[in-house]
């Protein structure tokens, strides 16, 4: 993992001091709330329904064990004993007091962490494939790229007051996109060029929110050394021409759509040709320096085969659902589900964070990942230590075997926390998880992604859920709209809206009928998504509204 050098450390410490000063100026009135707002947002501090919320950056979803322990410390000291993993791989604390926030940031800086650009109209914390560096299907580990982007985007003097927020995601595995690169303002895939050299496929203008759009190719192949200048050119076109008259039309996807991808590409190319690349380019030596931090760990070769037959059934089920193939023979990728039906999706207690940190130290080179599906990952676990990891997870009540199954629901905070929400989302997620609590049934249903947003801003990614749920409100009554057939991967697709909204009770029953219908009509090992694509929406719509 990347380690700060003296300059990174100086930068982040200066940022903490700057924010402390900004808070003082806000408290004594020198900064108005209107002036303070964008400044605090750029430091990850929101004002929510009940309190401030601090969103801590987990750059490209990667944590060292001592960093996770620090998050546990923050949860205990400044919050109510838990944190929340977000769909952009960050960790949120829902109950801090404004005066404590500078101290929280100082605590974070002591372990090379920060909350910079986790919010606001700037380039946000970059997200990444959680299996980076461990996946068998990747062309190259995308984390060095993500770290370079982190540094490039930190307090960029020109691009800190953009028309709207700007989200970048990267993946090194274009054939199995686990980073949703087509649903981001810019998505970057590591690809091979015409003569086999490694470079980047740049996708622009994707996004969910009120106007879901799947991103389009801006540049099919960008050589590595041209990436930062090319991104600068793209950002400059957006900063100048992105709409500022209407915040709901201010994302780059609207600019790309209104300009047309051809014309937009022309503008970027013109800018790219004219700019001085040396302003922003980084040398090969520097890229190598960063990449060296992400060298593969020292794998062992004396790993004994795991005799699953001799293991308890619960463990075998967990292996089947939560453990993923690793690039290194003898190793495995372990997914830790944060989808206990009793908790909000993505919530994790301080005690559990410490348990995961300990497991990472013992079994995964001290490293932890967070995922956009609001789970965690131990990326490099010896197969003969899987049982020990599972035992540790059982002790911490983190053994839910539901990764990618119907219980693995993505969900925004909704009305329970968020000032923008129009409906509750967490209780809906919990009720669905409860309804399908039986593991054998979940397993039989197979891969199924339910995603829930509590308002049209779509933080719960409902547009790209196999089943998407959108919570709305009319005359004080919450209701839920269902979309079907969304896809968040390399075959990204926005789901189809089914029809009129349903009450919460109707919704849960309707979803169960959709699932039952799918079980009746599927062929072979078809996933729900495959069956939906084969048969179309009608039969599932009929099932959804059968009772209405």
Partner 1 sequence: MPMLDLISSTGVAPNDVEPALFDAAVNQDIDALHLPNDADLSDYLDALPRVKSIFVDFPAFTDGRGFSLARLLRHRHGYEGLLVADGQLIPDQFAFALQCGFDAVRVKRSERERHTAEAWQAALDAFDVTYQRGYAVKAGPATSIFDARLTAAEANKTTDPFSA
157 binds partner 1 (CB under 8 A): yes
Q: What are phi and psi of 236, to 5 degrees?
A: -65, -40
Q: Which of 2, 22, 364, 451 is the binder for partner 1 (CB under 8 A)?
A: 22
Given candidates 27, 50, 158, 292, which one binds partner 1 under the rule CB under 8 A?
158
- By residue count, the chain amounts to 548
By CB under 8 A, tell whether 39 contacts partner 1: yes
Check binding of 427 to partner 1 (CB under 8 A): no
Q: Which of residues 393-422 bind partner 1 (CB under 8 A)?
A: none
Q: Please, is 52 exposed, middle or buried when counting C-beta atoms within 10 Å of its C-beta (0-12, 13-18, 19+)?
A: middle
Q: Quick one: which of 88, 92, 127, 102 has its CA closest to 40?
A: 102
From the list 20-28, 106-114, 211-219, 428-436, the region that binds partner 1 by CB under 8 A is: 20-28
Question: With respect to partner 1, which residue has the nearer C-beta, 240 or 304?
Answer: 240
Residue 174 lies near partner 1 (rule: CB under 8 A): no
C-alpha 224: how far from its chain's center? 24
Least distance in angstroms from the C-beta of 170 to partner 1: 18
Q: 520 in the Ramachandran plot: left (φ > 0), alpha (ψ -120 to 50) or beta? A: alpha
- 43 interacts with partner 1 by CB under 8 A: no
The nearest distance, CB 263 to partner 1, in angstroms, is: 16
**Least Å from the CB of residue 163 to partner 1:** 8
What is the distance between the alpha carbons of residues 284 and 304, in angstroms, rounded to a whole number? 40
Between the CA of residue 297 and those of 1, 79, 134, 273, 332, what are the distances in Å?
A: 10, 34, 10, 40, 13
CA distance 465 to 448: 8
Binding region for partner 1 (CB under 8 A) out of 34-42, 135-143, 315-323, 495-503: 34-42
Using alpha carbons only, what angle is made at residue 489 by residues 484 and 490, rounded to the nearest 5 degrees?
Answer: 125
Alpha-carbon gap, residue 449 to 378, rounded angstroms = 21
The residues in 251-290 that bind partner 1, with binding defined as CB under 8 A, are: 274-276, 278-280, 282-283, 285-286, 289
Radius of gyration of the chain (CA): 23
Is 240 a binding residue for partner 1 by CB under 8 A? The answer is: yes
- Interface residue with partner 1 among 10, 434, 520, 542 (CB under 8 A) is 10
Q: Least Å distance between CB 246 and partner 1?
A: 14
DSSP string, 292-333: HTTPPP---S-PPPP-GGGS-HHHHHHHHHHEEE-SSTTEEE
The interface region with partner 1, picked from 2-10, 398-406, 477-485, 497-505 by CB under 8 A, is: 2-10
- From candidates 8, 76, 100, 358, binder to partner 1 by CB under 8 A: 8
Encoded tokens for 527? 């996933």
Among residue numbers 101 through 140, which ones bind partner 1 (CB under 8 A)?
121
Q: Is residue 244 involved in binding partner 1 (CB under 8 A)?
A: yes
Which residues would be at the binding site for partner 1 (CB under 8 A)?
5, 7-8, 10-11, 14-15, 17-18, 21-22, 25, 29-32, 35, 38-39, 121, 151-152, 154-162, 236, 239-240, 244, 274-276, 278-280, 282-283, 285-286, 289
């Amino acid at each position: 993992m990347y380690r700060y050098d003296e300059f990174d450390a100086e930068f982040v410490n200066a940022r903490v001091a700057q924010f402390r000063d900004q808070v003082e100026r806000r408290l004594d009135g020198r900064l108005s709330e209107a002036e303070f707002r964008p400044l605090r947002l750029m430091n990850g501090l929101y004002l929510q329904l009940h309190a401030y919320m601090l969103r801590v950056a987990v750059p490209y979803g990667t944590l060292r064990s001592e960093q996770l322990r620090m998050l546990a410390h923050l949860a205990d000291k400044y919050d109510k004993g838990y944190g929340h993993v977000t769909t952009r791989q960050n960790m949120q604390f829902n109950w801090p007091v404004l005066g404590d926030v500078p101290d929280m940031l100082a605590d974070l800086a002591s372990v090379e962490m920060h909350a910079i650009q986790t919010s606001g109209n700037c380039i946000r914390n970059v997200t990444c494939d959680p299996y980076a560096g461990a996946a068998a299907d990747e062309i190259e580990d995308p984390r060095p790229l993500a770290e370079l982007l982190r540094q490039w985007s930190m307090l960029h003097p020109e691009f800190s007051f953009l028309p709207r927020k700007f989200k970048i995601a990267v993946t090194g595995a274009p054939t199995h996109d686990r980073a949703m690169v087509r649903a981001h303002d810019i998505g970057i895939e590591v690809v091979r060029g015409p003569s086999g050299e490694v470079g980047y496929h740049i996708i622009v203008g994707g996004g969910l929110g009120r106007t879901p759009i799947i991103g389009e190719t801006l540049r099919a192949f960008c050589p590595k050394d041209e990436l930062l200048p090319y991104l600068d050119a793209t950002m400059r076109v957006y900063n100048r021409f992105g709409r500022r008259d209407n915040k709901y039309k201010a994302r780059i996807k609207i600019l790309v759509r209104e300009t047309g991808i051809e014309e937009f590409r022309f503008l970027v190319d013109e800018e790219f040709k004219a700019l001085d690349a040396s302003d922003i380019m980084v040398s090969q030596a520097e890229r190598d320096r960063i990449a060296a931090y992400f060298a593969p760990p020292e794998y062992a070769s004396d790993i004994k085969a795991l005799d699953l037959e001799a293991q308890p059934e619960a463990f075998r089920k967990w292996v089947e659902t939560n453990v993923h193939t690793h690039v290194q023979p003898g190793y495995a990728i372990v997914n830790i589900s944060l989808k206990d039906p009793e908790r909000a999706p993505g919530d994790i207690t301080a005690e559990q964070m410490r348990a995961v940190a300990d497991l990472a130290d013992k079994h995964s080179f001290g490293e932890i990942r967070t995922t956009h599906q609001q789970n965690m990952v131990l990326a490099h676990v010896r197969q003969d230590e899987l049982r020990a990891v599972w035992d540790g997870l059982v002790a911490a009540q983190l053994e839910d075997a539901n990764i990618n199954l119907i219980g693995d629901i993505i969900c925004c905070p909704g009305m329970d926390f968020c000032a923008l929400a129009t409906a509750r989302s967490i209780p809906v997620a919990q009720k669905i998880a409860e309804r399908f609590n039986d593991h054998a049934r979940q397993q039989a249903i197979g891969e199924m992604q339910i995603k829930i947003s509590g308002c049209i801003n779509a933080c719960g990614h409902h547009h790209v859920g196999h089943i998407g749920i959108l919570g709305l409100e009319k005359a004080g009554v919450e209701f839920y709209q269902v979309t079907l057939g969304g896809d968040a991967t390399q075959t990204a697709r926005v789901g189809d809206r089914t029809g009129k909204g349903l009450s919460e009770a109707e919704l849960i029953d309707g979803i169960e009928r959709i699932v039952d219908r799918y079980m009746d009509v599927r062929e072979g090992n078809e996933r729900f998504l495959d069956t939906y694509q084969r048969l179309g929406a009608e039969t599932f719509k009929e099932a959804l509204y059968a009772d209405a």
